[in-house]
Amino acid sequence: MTEAVYDVGAPEPKPIDEELSVKLGHLAEDAILRGKPNGAERCDNCLYYLDTDKDITYCWHPKLRVLVGGDWWCQWWEEIPED
Ligand code: SF4
């Protein structure tokens, strides 16, 4: 008995992926978003990093509103107030 082999092709990005890639790319450019810290400034010590216990969390800065990594950085980094 031979096994049926279906050629479904390699996975490919769909139009929605191209769209989101462009949109998120502009967003990252505007924010100068980087996948690494800027000196001591990093997402997980920024005011807008929602859950500092997590390596990846939601950034609630109004110009971003995306998931970011704890050791990323952008130009809108802001210190967490003491109180
Ligand atoms: S504002 Fe910038 S530095 Fe702060 S958490 Fe969001 S992406 Fe990171």
Res 83: pLDDT: 81
76 pocket-lining for ligand 1 (C-beta < 6 Å): yes
What is residue 50's predicted lDDT score, i.e. its pLDDT?
A: 98
Residue with the two structure tokens 């400034």 = 41
Helix %, strand %, coil % of the chain (to 5): 25, 20, 60
Within 1-83, residue ranges assigned H as helices are 15-31
pLDDT score recorded for residue 70: 98
Position 43 in a domain = yes
The answer to whether the CB of 58 is under 6 A from ligand 1 is no
Within a domain: residue 20? no
Chain CA centroid to CA 68, Å? 4
Determine whether the shortest distance from the Cβ of 44 to ligand 1 is under 6 A: no
Total of domains in the chain? 1
Q: What is the pLDDT of residue 59?
A: 98
Ligand 1: which residue has its CA nearest to atom 6?
A: 59
- 78 domain-assigned: yes
Q: Does residue 67 sit within a domain?
A: yes
Q: Mean pLDDT in runs of 10 for the chain (83 residues)?
A: 71 96 97 98 98 97 97 98 88
The pLDDT of residue 1 is 55
Q: Is 70 in the pocket of ligand 1 (CB under 6 A)?
A: no
